[in-house]
Structure 1
């Protein structure tokens, strides 16, 4: 089986419009969560979110592109451009045939759906734009990335709620490792911060009105975010032969199903996914230096995840740094694992551990080193990235310093 490395990264999210800007914000422990600026926000109970600010589509895309690109697709295209440019790859000839794209999203073109439901049901219009279906479909972003960069290999979209990006990146990892592709563009995106998207989440009663405080005893819920993270996964031999700048190695992946409850997480299911990633990477618990937690800021998730980590890592659990960057950028739902993988890349490449900000009161059920409030310098060799979704679908990636 082939080794798989990351040779490109790109993003746009509440912390920054590039990887460099995002890294800087994570190092500073900056918060990208604030008041929502969306239509009918006064009708919402939840009025905060991790919104991408200072963004104007006209600055990035022409009218024809905007007619086809929902906001989640726009974010994807921006992040993909940065990642592919950094990788230095040009997809032509045999490489184009052996390269593809796997992206994760949960809602797809939810902004487009929201706008057109309004047009039909609220405004009484009887016609919508002829491109609404190709604009809102979940695979729109993957298809446009494929067409724009000539990716003719395996290309598809994964939708597994909050684990979508990790599942997508896991599939991309397997495709390259097994020789089905030489390179894959992968990651995920989400843009649910429209009236209908926020109103739907309000119904779950898991949303905070003021801040996301993972692992803190006074946490009171999650905060939605939006954005995209995209990476280039590449066969190590191919990357090495062309002298590519390698960010880190993807060492293992595991996914499990709780097969238990549609919304309540399972410690056992999460633990099996974490343990499976370690086995796949052929590493022991003592090798892990950092875990980017799912860390939503809800009581059910935080205590379940900490218990799962403690169960798998045993006596080493107290020595591992575990932080939730959702405290800074919010929960990007289907795109969250991709943006959070940036924190793992930063930890392995730059030796900087992103903090869990907003941490105020210790919780005895989350008694791990959560890197509270301030980033930390550390030399680590291996890290994990956790994602645990509604529906009991779990996906954990293991990464290695190169």
Structure 2
């Protein structure tokens, strides 16, 4: 990822050398001998990264971080420190710096840190764009899987055909159903959802078909069923795979004839509705096995949509996690905690069998600071020893190098400027894998 980099250092020789290295890496560079000049230039340019020395006359690196925080905006800072000055780097991170480099540094490592910082900023901006463009009930994400899902919804929504939406638990099947209704010609009509798994068999006909006054003891007034209530709009049959076979036969008849007869009446009431069936099971396979009526499946499956599992959504995992963290923090009146590199790495490694539902629950725990979550939520730096902080930074740098080298430890060791055996020892000590 390429971008504009501000380099700030009162050492003219180092300023020139660092600027040349960064330009050789394909970035645009503007160099400044002091922080005041860099701050003034922000009115004319929007740097993706600001690389600054900590010790400078006048406004030092800490003053620059404070001024940027007061100014607002998103200008991530990478600080450069002298050898053995890790305590100052930790303080800079606590005050808002994105990352740090210890002089002397390797050229490849410098470009790696800049690239990582640019990507983190791009992720934050993409999340902000998505949150401003989409409501809470719309489908977030830009991965190929989500892009294809949105395209499928856009293609099928205007067609007045019944649909089957399938997918694993927690993949947003009902969200897809709502999106289909909202983009359809029936959007002004009712959206009626029926949970087939939670409906007792004895109440099925009364709830689905409705009844007239006096149809049975306690029926004091006429009551329309779910089918009638959905007329003119969309009926969603959630967990339809749980519907018993005898009830499937009764539902099939109503859907074939597009009419319903209330209990206690002898006349048919016409229905004008679209049906969306939601299932976490493969209805076609169930129809072959005899546990679901084939004729009902083919009546419902005018078209099919499959929701992707979270494992296929790649970088959207972080976007969704950050989105849910921000929503949970706002709902509870808290500031959203920062999502560290360690947390991002843990999110990408986790299997997420519960898909988006599990991710949302983890994000809410993270936003509230609840212990026991395995997303590796950041610990409070003030409560750590210097040794703990050094281990955290070392683990982060090694993870980043392994990510860039796609798990190739030999290349990662070269990038980090250490022998491969040393890298393997550190990985074993830190519990890291390639």
Structure-1-length-normalised TM-score: 0.21
Larger relative contact order (C-alpha < 8 A, sep ≥ 6)? 1
- Greater CA radius of gyration, 1 or 2? 2
More helix by share: 2
Structure-2-length-normalised TM-score: 0.20
More strand by share: 1
